[in-house]
Amino acid sequence: MRELKGPNGWVVARVDSSGYVTLGNEPGPVVGKATNGGEVYDDDGGTNQVGHVDLEGNIFDMRYQELGRVDGWGRVYDKSGMLIGNVEKPVDAGVLMLLVAPPEPARSDSAGDSGQSGSLMNDALELAEDHRFPGVRRDFKPLTESDLYIERLPPKTERENF
C-alpha cells in the first residue's frame, strides 16, 4: 500500500499493489487506477485515461498540457512551483494531480460573463437525444404491398402521350 500525502503531511489517498486508488486513509470505494507505465485512469476498469507521467517526471493531462512535475525525492509540484504533496512512485504524482486534486479548467472571460455556456450545452444534449431517439411520426399511412412491389411509373398523363 503506497500512501499519497498532501502538503501538510496528511494521507489523502492510497494506491494498492494492483494500482487501484482509494481516497483517504481508510478503505473505501475505488476512484481510479494507476499503471506501472505511468498512465492514470479515473475508473477502476482502466478505460478512461485522464493523464500520464513521463519518464522525466512531468505530469500531463489528456490534452498534453503539463500540469506539474515530480522530483527524485517524490515531492510533487504544480505548474507554478507550489508543493502539492509527497508520493513514493512517480505515477502516484499523476494520481495526486489528476484524481485527488484535479486541475480547474481555464475559463475564458467571455464565456463566464455571457451566461450562455449552459444553454449551449443543453442544446448539444437535446440534439444528441433527438439523434439517438428520433420521434415516431404518426401522421402517415403504413406501407402496403402495392407501395412495395409496384415500380415507379410516370403519372398517367405522361404515359398517354407516348
pLDDT tens-digit profile of 135-154? 665 666 666 767 666 656 55
Mean pLDDT, residues 44-67 taken together: 92
In terms of domains, do 82 and 123 share one? no
Q: pTM above 0.85?
A: no
Domain that holds residue 123: 112-153
Q: Write the burial class of residue 26 (CB in 10 Å: 0-12 exposed, 13-18 middle, 19+ buried).
A: exposed
CA separation for the pair 90, 57 (Å, rounded): 6
In terms of domains, do 133 and 72 share one? no
**Mean pLDDT across the chain:** 81
- C-alpha cell at position 113: 460573463
| pLDDT at 101 (0 to 100) | 75
In terms of domains, do 22 and 65 share one? yes
| pLDDT at 136 (0 to 100) | 61
pLDDT tens per residue across span 62-116: 999 999 999 999 999 999 999 999 999 999 999 999 988 766 555 545 444 455 5
Give every CB contact of residue 111 below 8 A, 6+ residues apart in sequence. 117
C-beta separation of 22 from 11 below 8 A: no
CA separation for the pair 24, 76 (Å, rounded): 18
In terms of domains, do 95 and 21 share one? yes
In terms of domains, do 94 and 116 share one? no
Cβ atoms within 10 Å, residue 32: 24
| pLDDT at 135 (0 to 100) | 65
Of the candidates 53, 28, 58, which has an alpha carbon nearest to the alpha carbon of residue 39? 53
Per-residue DSSP letter, 143:
P
With respect to residue 55, please indicate whether it lies within any of the assigned structural domains: yes
C-beta separation of 38 from 97 below 8 A: no
In terms of domains, do 10 and 73 share one? yes
Mean pLDDT, residues 23-31 taken together: 89
**What is the tally of structural domains in the chain?**
2
Phi, psi of 80 (to 5 degrees): -85, -5
In terms of domains, do 29 and 87 share one? yes
Name which residue leads in pLDDT, 105 or 119.
119
